[in-house]
Amino acid sequence: MIIKPFKRESLLPLPVAFISTISADGVRNIAPYSCIMPVLRPLDLICLASAWKRDTLNNIRATGEFVVNLAGADLADKVIPTARFSPPEADEFILAGLSAKPSVEIKAPGIEGCYAWMECRLWKLYEESQFVLIVGQVVHCEVADAACLPDGSINLETARPLMITGSNQGMKFCTAFDIHRFEPFGAMFPNGKDPLAAKYTEE
């Protein structure tokens, strides 16, 4: 089947991350973002694609900070309350019935009940007429013990990362599961050694 190019995102299961920020006046804001990706291994940069009309973008410009909150499937009912338009002066933690988790390195709080939190400082904005790419540097990264496996991966069964696939009518919420196949990073290299291996063990 051939589909219209703009429907490309329907073919790509996407994470649903809640971005929490505060405004220059200290108003707390939350918005779900799915257009999000890490920028290459082993950098500590993460990129969000944002529309211009977003309190999230305004707050990041004003404060230079944001938290990427990774939610489990149990928080699917918080997506629409945080995605609906609400005026910049509305506290979206209260609006969505979510509690704040104080951050370690930045003023913007994270969200209680998520399985992981990436505290970010604005690194660079790439401004285009139709969108802005927000690149943040992760300055503190934390995962709930219950969602973490000893090998440094997340426990997909307990974390149940919240994701979506798109359809012509809207968003289907889903999660990821393990297919029990593993390859070391080194498998990509002719000598079988991952040149970045030491990064993963250093304190």
Ligand X SMILES: Cc1cc2nc3c(=O)[nH]c(=O)nc-3n(C[C@H](O)[C@H](O)[C@H](O)COP(=O)(O)O)c2cc1C
Which residues contact ligand X by CB under 6 A? 16, 29, 31-35, 49-51, 54-56, 79, 83, 85, 164, 171
* Closer of 49 and 125 to ligand X (Cβ): 49
Q: Please state the closest distance from residue 116 (CB atom) to ligand X, in A.
A: 17
Q: Please state the closest distance from residue 197 (CB atom) to ligand X, in A.
A: 33
In angstroms, rounded to a whole number, what is the distance separating the alpha carbons of residues 52 and 100?
26
* Closer of 68 and 171 to ligand X (Cβ): 171
**Contact residues for 9 (Cβ-Cβ < 8 A; gap 6+):** 34, 166
Q: Please state the closest distance from residue 10 (CB atom) to ligand X, in A.
A: 13
Tokens found for residue 122: 């604005």
In angstroms, rounded to a whole number, what is the distance separating the alpha carbons of residues 142 and 18?
15
* Closer of 51 and 188 to ligand X (Cβ): 51
In angstroms, rounded to a whole number, what is the distance separating the alpha carbons of residues 111 and 61?
21
Q: Please state the closest distance from residue 173 (CB atom) to ligand X, in A.
A: 8
